[in-house]
Each structure stands twice: as C-alpha cells, then as structure tokens.
Amino acid sequence: MSDLNEWIKERRRIHDAATEGPWEADGFVDEYQGEDVIRLSIWSGPPSSEDSPVVVHSIRSHENTEFILDAHNTLPALLTAVENVLELHQRVPNSTSALYPNPLCTCGQNHPCPTVRTIEGAIK
C-alpha cells in the first residue's frame, strides 16, 4: 500500500505546484495557416480579472481545454476519495499467526483485499 500512498502524494505534489485554481477557460477565433481556429486559454480565476494569470495559452482544441480544466479542478476530490477508500481497507496489525499466515484487511478479507488490489492495478 505504500506504493499507493506514494502515488497519491506525488499527484498532490504535482497539483499543488501548479498555479492555484480553480481554473477557467476563455477563447477567441484566430487565423492559423489560412484557417480560422479557436485559441483557448486557461486562467487561474475569472478570465476577465486582471489578477488572474494565464496558465495555458493557445490551446486549439476545445476538448483538450475541457480535459485540462477538468483534471486540474477535480483531481483533489478524486485523490481524497481514493484515500478515503484506502482508509477503509487497512492491514490489521498483528493479524497473522502460524494458523493464519496472511494478514487481514479491516474489511475482513486477506490484505491486500480485492479493493486495494484493484486500485493498485489501476495506477500501474
């Protein structure tokens, strides 16, 4: 489980090092190589505010802009949800013996239980 905890810590470190949010988007139509393209920018805060720094500039895809915004703005909640699930699936201390060599999980199954293994598998 320490790999999971390290993975979560690294995601939080990356997120926390980025410009503070929430992030918002704004765009305009521009000409690029003879074609009209939408140039979208991501801002930290309302795009109309002078205090809001541009985080990303000239994204030419609405879908990519939406993905970047969504990932930045929702990642903390997702990480908290994973941490909360892992809190429910802890290794029970001193749960092994000669008769039961596998440690138990707080959910009653052997640890790591299917829930923990599923999360571990998803991040590898």
Q: 9-39 burial by CB neighbour count: b if 16+ within 10 A, else e?
A: eebeeeeeeeeebebbbebeeeeeeeeeeee
pLDDT tens profile 3-28? 899 999 999 999 999 988 888 888 77
CA within 13 Å, CB half, 42 = 23
For residue 115, the model assigns a pLDDT of 97
CA distance 24 to 64: 13
Question: In the chain, what are the domain boundaries?
Answer: 1-88
Cα 62 off chain centre by = 20
- Kindly state the tokens that stand for 99: 């008769």
Query: Model confidence over 33-89: pLDDT tens digits?
Result: 777 666 777 878 767 667 777 777 777 777 888 888 899 999 999 999 999 999 999
pLDDT of residue 78: 96
